[in-house]
Amino acid sequence: MSKDLSPAREDAERSKNRTEDAITDLQPAARGDQYGNGTRGDSSASHPSGLQRTVGAVRMLIPLLGKVLPLLDGNVAAVAANLLLPRLQAQSVDIYPLESALLKVREELALMRDKAAEHDTAFKRIDGQLESVRDAVERSVAEQREMAENVGRIQGRLLLFSAVGMVLLALSIGVNVALFFYVRGTIH
């Protein structure tokens, strides 16, 4: 198609090309006779049958019906805009790379969810272990406090016992010295 054609002419040209393609698509299917042996005459092979012409006409009318269909809703402005504006032909976009990237992202997301679930269970297990360690430390601290209190009591008792022992020792030494002098005085 050339660049100097108006948008309406381009639309008509596309519709014509689609109709011709539709007719050529239908011709091989209609070439056989009613028994399927393919012995139809040469005259019908070059001219389309009535069914083919009807299908071609319907295919040409479908875009126009799509533009006029909003009239059923009472939307005259939309119909006028559809008829006046050239039909936009969206170029086919290859979305396979996007789909594959999206699939990869979904796989990575599933993998991350699995890893997050594993991490959650590991954190719960570590939390349980930390709780048991905390309990063990608290028990150990309580036992150490109790032992420190016991050591303090024993130390007090030992101090009392050693003080009593020192007093008894001093008394014993004093008695021995007194006896020594007494015995020495009686012997001389």
Any domain includes 18:
yes
d(CA 168, CA 138): 44
pLDDT the model gives residue 154? 94
**Token couple for 75:** 């939307």
pLDDT tens for residues 29-76?
Answer: 444 444 444 444 444 456 788 888 888 888 887 877 776 666 666 666
Any domain includes 73:
yes
d(CA 118, CA 74): 59
pLDDT the model gives residue 10? 61
pLDDT the model gives residue 27? 45
Any domain includes 12:
yes
47 vs 9, more confident: 47
Mean pLDDT of the chain: 77
How many other CB atoms are there within 10 angstroms of residue 56's CB atom?
19
Any domain includes 56:
yes
82 contacts: CB under 8 Å, gap ≥ 6: 66, 67, 68, 70
The torsion region of residue 91 among left (phi > 0), alpha (psi -120 to 50) and beta comes to: beta
Any domain includes 26:
yes
Domain that holds residue 72: 7-32+43-84
3-state secondary structure of 166: helix
> Average pLDDT for residues 137-154, to the nearest whole number?
95
pLDDT tens for residues 89-129?
Answer: 556 778 888 899 999 999 999 999 999 999 999 999 999 99
